[in-house]
């Protein structure tokens, strides 16, 4: 009989889009349930190891629990329940984040921005000077 | 080996949970044991399935969950709300209607054979 693994269960629940608080609570309650079942089995005279195995087996398989969660929309994350709304929110967030990114970068790196500004200005001055000199050379040339 | 439940059992765990919690508040393990007891172990639930059912009912407002410290541990006790009570009554009526329909259909088949 397949035994339940709590880590595997958490991963599978995340994969079907269960809400994080639901995952945490189901796992915690299943662990408590398992402890209760184990204590009952030990009281019946089973060894700790056999009791543990029996308790885990009684919970059922990961697939069964995940299927039960997936069948209840109210236990799923809002992105899973309303995918169209999630896409709208994502698009809106990107529309705000992309133009705001350069401003945020400037605010958080003022020294880098000053260096960048100075070097750009210097490069513009040097290029401008060369073009100016070339223009004058053309103008004053006797040829 | 324990018998598995047929596919038409969908919805039965919910009905049983509501029935049991109509009497008193209970925690998950207690509910599973009570289900075995009241059904003479005719219905075998994968015990882990009870928690998605409980949480779903709680989210829909049919149950109320309350944490209680018991022997150094915290247990989550579930109890029926008024919404849960009316849901239980509605589900019971539906169950009675469907089961009597199936019963009369099966009896009819027996009559047809005879």
Q: State residue A100's pLDDT score.
A: 87
Across the range A82-102, mean pLDDT stands at 89
CB B32 within 8 A of CB B45: yes
Per-residue pLDDT tens digits for B49-84: 999 999 999 999 999 999 999 888 889 999 999 999
Which runs of E-coded beta strand occur in B38-100? Answer: 63-70, 73-80
Q: Do B52 and A72 touch (CB under 8 A)?
A: yes
The residue to which tokens 């693994």 are assigned: A5
Q: Give CA–CA dist A93/A108, Å, rounded.
A: 20
Tokens matching residue B59: 């989210």
Mean pLDDT of A86-99: 89
Task: Please give the share of chain B, as a percent, with pLDDT higher than 70.
Answer: 86
- Shortest Cα distance from A97 to chain B (angstroms)? 34
Q: Positive or negative CA dihedral for B52, B56, B62, B63?
A: positive
Residue A69, min C-alpha distance to chain B (Å): 5
Q: Residue B40 burial (CB < 10 Å; 0-12/13-18/19+)?
A: exposed
Q: Which residue of A has its CA nearest to B77?
A: A29
CB B76 within 8 A of CB A31: no
Q: What angle do CA B52, B32, B65 make, to 5 degrees?
A: 50
For an interface test with B, give the residue of A10, A17, A33 to mutate (most B CBs within 10 A): A33
H or E element that contains B107: helix B82-113
Q: What is the pTM of this model?
A: 0.72
A60-71 confidence digits (pLDDT tens): 889 989 999 998
List the one residue out of B31, B45, B47, B85 whose CA is nearest residue B63: B85
Chain B: nearest CA to A87, how far in angstroms? 25
- Residue B1: predicted pLDDT: 44
Max intra-chain CA distance, chain B: 63
According to DSSP, the β-strands at B26-27 and B73-80 are antiparallel
> Six-digit token pair at A89?
């929110």
Question: Cα–Cα–Cα angle for A116, A119, A120, nearest 5°?
Answer: 80
Q: How far from chain centre, in Å, is Cα A123?
A: 42
The token duo for A9 is 């269960």
User: Does any CB of chain A come closer than 8 Å to the CB of residue B68?
Assistant: no
**Rounded CA separation A106/A117 (Å):** 11
Q: Do A72 and B56 touch (CB under 8 A)?
A: yes
Condensed to tens digits (0 to 9), the pLDDT of residues A10-64 reads: 999 999 999 999 999 999 999 999 999 999 999 999 999 999 999 999 898 899 8
């Amino acid at each position: 009989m397949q035994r339940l693994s709590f880590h595997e269960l958490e991963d599978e629940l995340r994969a079907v889009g269960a809400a994080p608080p639901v995952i945490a609570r189901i796992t915690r309650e299943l662990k408590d349930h398992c402890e209760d079942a184990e204590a009952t089995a030990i009281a019946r005279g089973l060894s700790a190891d056999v009791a543990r195995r029996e308790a885990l087996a009684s919970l059922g398989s990961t697939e069964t629990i995940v299927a039960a969660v997936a069948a209840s929309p109210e236990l799923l994350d809002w992105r899973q329940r309303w995918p169209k709304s999630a896409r709208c929110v994502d698009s809106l967030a990107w529309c705000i984040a992309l133009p705001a990114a350069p401003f945020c970068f400037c605010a958080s790196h003022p020294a880098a921005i000053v260096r960048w500004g100075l070097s750009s200005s210097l490069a513009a001055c040097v290029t401008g000077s060369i073009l100016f000199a070339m223009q004058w050379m053309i103008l004053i040339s006797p040829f | 080996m324990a018998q598995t439940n047929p596919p038409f059992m969908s919805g039965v765990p919910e009905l049983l949970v509501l029935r049991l919690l109509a009497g008193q508040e209970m925690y998950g393990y207690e509910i599973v044991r009570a289900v075995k007891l009241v059904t003479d172990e005719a219905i075998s639930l994968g015990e882990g399935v009870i928690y998605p059912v409980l949480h779903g009912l709680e989210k829909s407002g049919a149950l109320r969950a309350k944490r209680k410290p018991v022997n150094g541990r915290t247990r989550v006790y579930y109890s029926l709300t008024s919404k849960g009570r009316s849901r239980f009554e509605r589900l019971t009526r539906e169950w009675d209607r469907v089961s009597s329909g199936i019963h009369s259909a099966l009896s009819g088949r027996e009559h047809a054979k005879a």
